[in-house]
């Protein structure tokens, strides 16, 4: 990014949240797959860490883990299977059929 890198962008988002905005899920996506890279992202305030090449099933799980609590306070995140029908990005953007289920761990 020309103005700031992902770490600086994450810090800017987290600083804005301290000013009263709702919490935003931030998931790192990088080709850097070292454990130290993951640690650096998490210490910067990111919620999760994904590496390239993308494992679509794992990516969907991570997105659901980091977004279900924002979608509805009634949605459990304790390992139960959730229907993905209401998530258009999953239904229309990935190879899962519309009636696919994803395990949230």
Give residue 45's region: left, alpha or beta (phi > 0; psi -120 to 50).
left
CATH number of residue 46's parent domain: 3.40.50.2300
Same domain, 13 and 41: yes
For position 19, what pLDDT does the model report? 77
CA–CA gap between residue 70 and residue 53 (Å, rounded): 27
Same domain, 77 and 30: no
CA–CA gap between residue 66 and residue 25 (Å, rounded): 6
What are the pLDDT digits (tens) for 39-56? 999 999 999 999 999 999
Same domain, 42 and 61: no
Report the predicted TM-score, pTM, of the whole model to 2 decimal places: 0.61
CB 69 within 8 A of CB 44: no
> What is the tally of structural domains in the chain?
2
Residues of the chain with pLDDT under 70: 1, 21, 68-105
Same domain, 61 and 26: no
Same domain, 77 and 103: yes
Same domain, 39 and 74: no
Q: Is the peptide bond before 53 cis (omega within 30 degrees of 0)?
A: yes
Rg (CA), the chain: 15
């Amino acid at each position: 990014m020309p103005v700031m890198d992902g770490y600086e962008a994450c810090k800017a988002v987290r600083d804005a949240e301290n000013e009263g905005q709702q919490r935003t899920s931030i998931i790192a996506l990088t080709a850097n797959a070292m454990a130290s890279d993951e640690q650096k992202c998490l210490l910067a305030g990111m919620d999760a860490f994904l590496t390239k090449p993308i494992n679509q099933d794992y990516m969907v799980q991570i997105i659901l883990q980091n977004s279900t609590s924002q979608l509805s306070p009634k949605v459990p995140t304790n390992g139960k299977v959730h229907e993905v029908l209401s998530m258009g990005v999953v239904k229309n953007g990935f190879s899962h059929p519309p009636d696919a289920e994803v395990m949230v761990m």
